[in-house]
Amino acid sequence: MRVKVVLENTETGDRDYITTKNKQKNPERLELRKYSPKLKRYAIYRETK
């Protein structure tokens, strides 16, 4: 049961990435370090509702 989730940059609020996750195994929000093109460095991206 994988669902699509949108990742939002915690610093700028940009929504640059879309990924999937298994809701049964990971019910909490996803948090990843991804490259931000606007900041030109890696930043923390968090799952949005």
The CATH number of residue 21's host domain is 2.20.28.120
Q: What is the mean pLDDT of residues 17-42?
A: 96
Which residue is associated with the tokens 């195994």? 25
18: domain range? Answer: 2-47
pLDDT of residue 5: 97
pLDDT of residue 7: 98
Can you tell me the distance from the alpha carbon of 28 to that of 34, in angstroms, rounded to the nearest whole number? 19
Which residue is associated with the tokens 């990924």? 19
pLDDT of residue 28: 96
Tally of structural domains, the chain: 1
Smallest CA-to-CA distance from 26 within 7, 45, 2, 6 is with 2
Q: What is the mean pLDDT of residues 33-44?
A: 97
Q: What is the mean pLDDT of residues 25-40?
A: 96
Q: What is the mean pLDDT of residues 17-46?
A: 96
Residue 1 has pLDDT above 90, yes or no: no
